[in-house]
Amino acid sequence: MMLSMTKRRRYPKKRFRSGLEVRNSDLLEDLGVSYEYETLKIKYIPKVKTYIPDFVLPNGIIIETKGRFTTSDRSKHLRVKEAHPDLDIRFVFSNPNSKLYKGAKTTYADWCDKYGFQYAKEYILLDWIKE
């Protein structure tokens, strides 16, 4: 078994769900950017459900970090976009060139392009923070 020797920060009041979330939180904190983590609740249909995004930047941009982008994730985001077309939801993927499923030709990036979502690889883009 290999152990990772990466630097880890401790967040006594915050519990992140993935290393990708931790890395993006570290980036924002290193840049001195305030953000909200899992505080916003967005209702969507057909059955009333609630989507809680990972990060909300001070400029209102919503950031969702994804290692895996499952069929249910994709469906949820299309329903959220339909219910709230005014929201600016963007994705940060571990690898935007991952295929949607085994044997697929379509990648996470292709899906985002098709449905009008902006995306980045591994980290929130500085341009997004400056908007």
| Angle, alpha carbons 11-68-99 (nearest 5°) | 150
Q: Does a structural domain hold residue 51? A: yes
Q: Which domain holds residue 44?
A: 19-130
Q: What percent of the chain has pLDDT over 90?
A: 83
Is 77 within a domain? yes
Task: Give a yes or no: residue 47 inside a domain.
Answer: yes
Mean pLDDT of the 92-115 span: 96
Residue 121, domain member (yes or no):
yes
Residue 35 has pLDDT above 50, yes or no: yes
CA–CA separation, 66 and 108 (whole Å): 10
Q: Is residue 64 part of a domain?
A: yes
Q: Say what the pLDDT of residue 5 is.
A: 36
Task: Output the domain CATH number for residue 44.
Answer: 3.40.91.30
Q: How far apart are CA 129 and CA 108, in angstroms?
A: 22
Determine if residue 58 is left, alpha or beta; phi over 0 gives left, psi from -120 to 50 gives alpha, anything else beta. Answer: alpha
Is the predicted pLDDT of residue 74 greater than 90, yes or no? yes
Please name the amino acid found at residue 47: K
pLDDT digits (tens, 9 = 90+) for 1-28: 333 333 444 444 468 889 999 999 999 9
In a domain, 2, yes or no: no
Query: Is 92 contained in some domain?
Result: yes
What confidence score (pLDDT) does residue 14 get?
A: 64
How many domains are contained in the chain? 1
* 50-60 residue pLDDT tens: 999 999 999 99
In a domain, 122, yes or no: yes
